[in-house]
Homo-oligomer: A and B are copies of this chain.
Amino acid sequence: MKKVQNSKLNGMLWIELEGERIIGPGRVELLKHIQECGSIRQAAMQMGMSYRKAWDLIEHMNSKLDKPVVVSIRGGKGGGKASVTDKGLAIIDQFNTFYDLFRNFLNDNTKLIRL
């Protein structure tokens, strides 16, 4: 068994609530885009995701958590506005913290792979 330079430990990370995935990299990215552009529709477009899919992901988080992660005002010129709540921002921070630790875990252990 020898160190193989082009080997890598890799993985995925998410938070479950009552056995369902509630927060993961895709949802956090969606929240960040909504925060930046103030629109679920634009955020979905930026991610190459349908508006319906984005709306369902937001609605799933909003319905499962005790407070919403995104609030939106429908209609008006140029469509509705959406904003990420303090709860949503705290969840982004929390997941990023876990993900940074996970990235360190993967990098540290990648050095130990012997194939």
Contact = CB atoms under 8 A, between A and B. Distances in A.
Interface in A12-52: 12-19, 21-22
Interface in A59-115: 65-66, 87, 90-91, 94, 98, 101-102, 105, 109, 112-115
SS of A interface (majority): mixed
A106 to B, nearest CB: 8
A7 B1 contact: no
Interface residues of A, number: 34
29 contacts: A1-B87, A1-B90, A1-B94, A2-B66, A4-B17, A6-B17, A6-B18, A7-B16, A7-B17, A7-B22, A8-B16, A8-B17, A9-B13, A9-B15, A10-B13, A10-B21, A11-B11, A11-B12, A11-B14, A12-B12, A15-B113, A17-B115, A22-B115, A91-B115, A94-B113, A98-B112, A101-B109, A102-B105, A105-B105
